[in-house]
């Protein structure tokens, strides 16, 4: 499910500022002085081409990991207020260096912290929602002809005047929130890959870059395991109608545009397939294949009869703050998936209830993974579902559980079978490129 915690209350959308581009650069793009210079040249080139630019930066390279490691060395439980203060230092370094580098190229630039940029969040730490955008100083800087450089990932809680951070993918969220508040023409998310691919190129060598994808499909790809964009950022962009352009900071090539297409991506009800539609479906409607091996399967054995028992088990997991994904019941056995990191906690929560509910045992298996096919109209076309299971079966990937949503089918299989499942689906749905080339594929940082 998309994480939509960061959506502010509905605001009056600003007038579109057609000449404005918001550019977000991840940690890998500003990993060292050379990277910062490269980004500075790109910003200046955009400016010279006639656009106004607002830049959002992440911390340099591994800075955040290093700070997290330092925190772990001085405290067994380094969360809360001080953790946000610590991590927020990373973006201050990269943004100040980038502003200097742009200034050295002859363009005026000024950096702004989250607070200075008007990123107001709720007063919680280590994952706050944005509640208001008040980018007055950014607008003033733009009007003065300057390039504002904004620290990603951070905001301020107005009640306490303390630094907060936005959680995973926070810099992308900052960029999209600024693009929405300023009415930017596009929010460009720069990363170290060429865009969003039809599958992870490390797994599917013939994966190809997607030129354009709907926000709804992108949302499903992200929640199914594609790590280039986080679901939270895509959802924010969709709600505020901000076109996203995911692209590489290492090349000048176009990346992947995420924006609503003209036709509706969600047909309102199932219909009969028409002749020749398979062709169109394969070429245009299926967006890609995603996978995620960071899941665990929990199996509860011999759950006693009684309508309330399954519900009590699921509620115990939810009450422990653990997100439940697929679930299935077969006779007296209940299975479901949770994020791998929460597997032990889920088991512990259930063990405490064993005598109370009366089930026999609970088991925990991390050697599983999910593979998903994403595309508009999947739910409307039973042939897609049939081909999906047929391809997995032919490839020898056993399916333990599966679910179908409007634009996605997901199957749980053995972790060892994930690669062949991805390849099989990629080929079966006509996604293979002729000139498939391996591309290093990584997250977009925070």
d(CA 436, CA 373): 19
d(CA 117, CA 224): 32
Taking the least distance from each CB to its own copies, the nearer of 93 and 186 is: 93
d(CA 430, CA 252): 28
Contacts of residue 347, defined as CB under 8 A and 6 or more positions apart, other chains included, come to: 298, 362, 363, 364
Nearest distance, CB of residue 59 and its own copies, angstroms: 10
Q: Which two three-digit tokens encode residue 421?
A: 């499942």
Out of 14, 78, 183, 267, the only residue in the binding site for its own copies (CB under 8 A) is 78
97 binds its own copies (CB under 8 A): yes
104 binds its own copies (CB under 8 A): yes
Evaluate whether 407 touches 372 at the Cβ level (below 8 Å): no
Evaluate whether 303 touches 357 at the Cβ level (below 8 Å): yes
Out of 67, 285, 347, 395, the only residue in the binding site for its own copies (CB under 8 A) is 67
Evaluate whether 259 touches 179 at the Cβ level (below 8 Å): no
CA dihedral angle for residue 220, residue 182, residue 86, residue 227, rounded to 10 degrees: 20
Q: Which two three-digit tokens encode residue 84?
A: 């946000």
92 binds its own copies (CB under 8 A): yes
Out of 71, 124, 139, 405, the only residue in the binding site for its own copies (CB under 8 A) is 71
Out of 5, 14, 17, 37, the only residue in the binding site for its own copies (CB under 8 A) is 37
Q: Compute how many other C-beta atoms are within 10 angstroms of the C-beta atom of residue 369.
A: 26
38 binds its own copies (CB under 8 A): no
Stretch that binds its own copies, among 36-44, 198-206, 323-331, 370-378 (CB under 8 A): 36-44
Q: Which two three-digit tokens encode residue 430?
A: 């006509």
111 binds its own copies (CB under 8 A): yes
Nearest distance, CB of residue 128 and its own copies, angstroms: 16
d(CA 164, CA 144): 29
Taking the least distance from each CB to its own copies, the nearer of 135 and 443 is: 135
14 binds its own copies (CB under 8 A): no
Alpha helices (H) along 197-296: 215-223, 231-239, 277-280
Which residues lie across from 155 on neighbouring strands?
A: 164
Nearest distance, CB of residue 118 and its own copies, angstroms: 12
d(CA 355, CA 347): 14
Stretch that binds its own copies, among 89-97, 220-228, 232-240, 345-353 (CB under 8 A): 89-97
Binding residues for its own copies restricted to 126-185, rule: CB under 8 A: 161-162
Out of 11, 75, 294, 394, the only residue in the binding site for its own copies (CB under 8 A) is 75
Nearest distance, CB of residue 188 and its own copies, angstroms: 21
Q: Which two three-digit tokens encode residue 22?
A: 């918001």
Instruction: Find, among 306, 43, 4, 8, the residue nearest to 132 by Cα.
Output: 8
Nearest distance, CB of residue 81 and its own copies, angstroms: 7
359 binds its own copies (CB under 8 A): no
Stretch that binds its own copies, among 29-37, 199-207, 217-225, 401-409 (CB under 8 A): 29-37
Q: Compute how many other C-beta atoms are within 10 angstroms of the C-beta atom of residue 50.
A: 7
86 binds its own copies (CB under 8 A): yes
Which residues lie across from 164 on neighbouring strands?
A: 155
Beta strands 286-301 and 361-375: pairing type? antiparallel
62 binds its own copies (CB under 8 A): no
Taking the least distance from each CB to its own copies, the nearer of 147 and 289 is: 147
Taking the least distance from each CB to its own copies, the nearer of 162 and 332 is: 162
Taking the least distance from each CB to its own copies, the nearer of 80 and 306 is: 80
Count the residues of the shown chain that bind its own copies, applying the rule CB under 8 A. 38
Q: Which residues contact its own copies by CB under 8 A?
A: 33, 36-37, 40, 67, 70-71, 73-78, 81-83, 85-86, 88-90, 92-93, 95-101, 103-104, 109-111, 116, 161-162
């Amino acid at each position: 499910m998309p994480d939509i915690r960061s959506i502010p209350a509905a605001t009056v959308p600003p007038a579109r500022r057609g000449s404005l581009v918001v550019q977000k650069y991840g940690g890998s793009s500003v990993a060292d002085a050379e990277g910062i210079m490269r980004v500075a040249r790109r910003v200046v080139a955009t400016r010279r081409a006639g656009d106004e630019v607002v830049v959002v930066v992440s911390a340099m390279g591994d800075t955040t990991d290093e700070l997290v490691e330092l925190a772990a060395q001085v405290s067994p439980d380094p969360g809360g207020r001080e953790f946000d203060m610590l991590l927020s230092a990373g973006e201050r370094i990269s943004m100040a260096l980038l502003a200097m580098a742009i200034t050295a190229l002859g363009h005026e630039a000024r950096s702004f912290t989250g607070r200075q940029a008007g990123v107001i969040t709720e007063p919680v730490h280590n994952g706050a929602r944005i509640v208001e955008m008040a980018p007055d100083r950014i607008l003033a800087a733009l009007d003065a002809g300057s390039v504002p450089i904004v620290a990603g990932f951070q905001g301020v809680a107005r009640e306490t005047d303390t630094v907060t951070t936005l959680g995973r993918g926070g810099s992308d969220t900052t960029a999209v929130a600024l693009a929405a508040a300023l009415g930017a023409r596009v929010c460009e998310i720069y990363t170290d890959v060429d865009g969003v691919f039809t599958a992870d190129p490390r797994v599917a060598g013939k994966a190809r870059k997607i030129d354009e994808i709907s926000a709804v499909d992108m949302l499903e790809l992200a929640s199914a395991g594609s790590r280039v964009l986080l679901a939270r950022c895509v959802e924010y962009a969709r709600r505020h109608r901000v076109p996203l352009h995911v692209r590489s900071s290492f090349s000048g090539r176009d990346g992947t545009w995420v924006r609503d297409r003209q036709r509706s991506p969600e047909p309102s009800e199932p219909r009969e397939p028409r002749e020749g539609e398979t062709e169109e479906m394969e070429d245009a409607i299926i967006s890609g294949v995603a996978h995620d091996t960071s899941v665990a399967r929990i199996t509860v054995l011999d759950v006693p009869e009684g309508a309330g028992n399954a519900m009590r088990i699921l509620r115990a997991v939810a009450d422990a703050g653990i997100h439940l994904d697929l679930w299935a019941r077969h006779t007296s056995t209940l299975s479901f998936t949770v994020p791998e990191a929460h597997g032990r906690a889920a088991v512990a929560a259930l063990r405490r209830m064993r005598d109370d509910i009366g089930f026999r045992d609970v088991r925990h298996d991390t050697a599983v993974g999910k593979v998903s096919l994403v595309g508009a109209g999947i739910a409307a076309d039973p042939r897609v579902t049939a081909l999906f299971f047929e391809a997995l079966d032919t490839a020898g990937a056993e399916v333990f559980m599966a679910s179908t949503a409007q634009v996605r089918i997901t199957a749980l299989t053995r972790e060892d079978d994930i690669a062949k499942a991805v390849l099989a689906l990629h080929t079966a749905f006509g996604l293979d490129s002729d000139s498939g080339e391996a591309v290093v594929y990584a997250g977009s940082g925070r």
